[in-house]
Amino acid sequence: MSPTRRFAPLLIASVAVIAAACSDAVAPTRSTTARALPTLSSLGGGPASYANLANDDAEANAKTVVFTLKPEGGRAKVGSYWIVYPANAVCDPSQSTYGPTEWKNPCVTLDEAITITAKYWTEDGRLHSDFSPDIRFDPAKTVVMTTLVKDLIGQDLSDDVTSSFSIWYSTRIGDMRYFVDDAALDQDVVTNFGSTDGKSNGRVSRRIYHFSGYFVREGIWCEDGDPFADALCLVEAP
């Protein structure tokens, strides 16, 4: 993981207990000698975004999966998450810029496969993941992340429910974990909720422009070969 390019570790975590630091407030740090931390607004988050001290113990017990993104496009499975991507969607990390101000800038795309390592864990009912290396996707292409949230199945999709189970961007910088409501400022990344007969079917998805952290509450991890895996693990991505 290259610290010179990496804006911060990438992960999938869980939502929206929307507590709150002001979007322009600088999160506190454990050490007065630590490097200056960014404001939440500089990460592209709305006023519900917040930051907490990272849980080192939970991250230390994370599991790891390795997968490949191919130039011809396809889909990749990380636990119960699917990433569906078209051809020539991955920006070349050796030539592209990276960071919140860069997500929608054009880039040179890779013409060969790239191997991605995802570290994943659950923490306080949240589903997290950290991807390496840092990459972003060609903004002219649509890359979608989809997962299943068991607790959503059969619920009415009220505003309270959808706000609680939306997929947010999350990133770690130093000792702090930032939880960023990026959809508040960018309608392109609003979470979509699947429904059957007017009720949630548990499927949630959103567009992603980069492999930084994303989090959703009460998601399920699916282990390949696990005989006790939840039946939802057998459901294929769209």
Residue 28 in domain: no
* Structural domain for 167, as ranges: 41-234
Residue 160 in domain: yes
End-to-end distance of the chain based on CA atoms, in angstroms? 31
Residue 167 in domain: yes
Of 11-15, 83-87, 205-209, least confident by mean pLDDT is 11-15
Of 88-92, 119-123, 137-141, least confident by mean pLDDT is 119-123
CB 170 within 8 A of CB 154: no
Quickly list DSSP for 170-236. Answer: EEEETTEEEEE-GGGT-GGG--EEEEETTEEEEEEEEE-SBSSEEEEETB----TT-TT--GGGGPP
**Antiparallel, parallel or unpaired: β 213-217 and 126-132:** antiparallel
Residue 208 in domain: yes
Residue 203 in domain: yes
Residue 57 in domain: yes
Q: DSSP code of 57?
A: H
Q: Residue 129's closest CA among 24, 221, 202, 1?
A: 221
Residues 132-166: pLDDT tens digits?
888 999 999 999 988 888 788 899 999 988 888 88
Residues 68-79: pLDDT tens digits?
999 999 988 877
Q: Using CB atoms within 10 A of its CB, is residue 105 exposed (0-12), middle (13-18) or buried (19+)?
A: middle
Residue 20 in domain: no
CB 80 within 8 A of CB 221: yes
CB 35 within 8 A of CB 92: no
pLDDT of residue 191: 93
pLDDT of residue 156: 95
- Give φ, ψ of 207 to 5 degrees: -75, 145
36 or 203, higher pLDDT: 203
Residue 8 in domain: no
Q: Residue 181's closest CA among 162, 195, 200?
A: 162
- Position 12 pLDDT exceeds 60: no
Sign of the torsion formed by the C-alpha atoms of 28, 31, 32 and 35: negative
Average pLDDT over residues 114-137: 84
- Position 232 pLDDT exceeds 60: no
- Give φ, ψ of 152 to 5 degrees: -85, -20
pLDDT band for 15, please (50, 70, 90 cuts): very low
- Apex 201 CA angle, 224 and 181, nearest 5: 85
Could you give the number of structural domains in the chain?
1
Tokens standing for 203?
């499927």
